[in-house]
Structure 1
Amino acid sequence: MVFNDRTALYLQIALYMCEQILLKKWKPEEKVMSIRDLGELIEISPNTVQRAYDFLQQRNIIINKRGIGFFVAQDAEEHILSFRREQFMENELPDMLRNLYLLKIDMKQVNALYDEFIKNNFSNNE
């Protein structure tokens, strides 16, 4: 996992975990790695990983089964999509639309690039 300086580490970990769920690499009701094991794997303090798990629990993306561990919630994908769409629409889309306008980039060109991106990167998911 490659970290950036713009976003808090715990959020980057949480977003990585969400991506694994959206890509169907982690399935509903599947056990996720323990806090300690994930911290060791990505070389991050267990306290930071705990913050990521707390964040995901608050959004009903993962659930804690006492004494057993953490699991992907049955409806995790719905919660992720709702949260991520809201974040994208509020934080990223306005900048993207502004740049499209300023750079005079046509939406037909964007659609073609988007279709090509999906074909090259996610064609096995369809």
Structure 2
Amino acid sequence: MEFKDTQAIYLQIADYINEQILLGKWQAEEKIPSVRELAVTLEVNPNTVMRTCELLQQQEIIANKRGIGYFIQSDAVKKIIAAKKAAFISNELPQFFRNLYLLDMTLDDLKPYYATFRQNKLNGHEN
């Protein structure tokens, strides 16, 4: 995983885990890879992964079954989507609307691009 300088690594790992859940690669009630496994896979310190797990536990995305590992909560997808929507609306949407305004574009202008994007995703293409 390639990390950006603009956000703390443990938050980027949380985004990665959330994405795996949203993409259906990790299912509700399923055990996620161990802290050590994730640390090796992502090439980070296990303490960083542990910090991520503590955050996701506080957000009730994952739960720790002592001695067994971390498991995805049954309503994790719903909680992730709600949090991501709120973050998008407050952090990204204002700049997006500003750009539309400055470029004299409407949401209708974007519909063909969004349709193409969705079609590519449905066909299994990345991007």
> Normalising TM by the smaller chain, what interval?
over 0.9
Q: Distance in 1 between matches of 2:123 and 2:58?
A: 33
Q: Distance in 2 between matches of 1:21 and 1:6?
A: 23
- Counterpart residue number, 1:41: 41
- Counterpart residue number, 1:74: 74
Q: Distance in 2 between matches of 1:99 and 1:79?
A: 29
- Counterpart residue number, 1:7: 7
TM-score (norm: length of structure 2): 0.93
Counterpart check, 1:18 vs 2:22: no
Structure 1 spans left out of the alignment, 5+ residues: none
Count the aligned residue pairs: 124
2:29 counterpart SS class:
coil
- Give 1:85's aligned amino acid: K
1:40 counterpart SS class:
helix
- Counterpart residue number, 1:85: 85
- Taking only aligned residues, the RMSD between alpha carbons, in angstroms, comes to 1.1
1:4 counterpart SS class:
coil
1:68-122 deviation line (CA, Å, top 9, x unaligned): 1001111100110111111111101111111111011221121221111111124
Structure 2 spans left out of the alignment, 5+ residues: none
Counterpart check, 1:55 vs 2:51: no
1:110 counterpart SS class:
helix
TM-score (norm: length of structure 1): 0.93
Task: Report runs of 4+ in structure 1 exceeding 4 Å deviation.
Answer: none
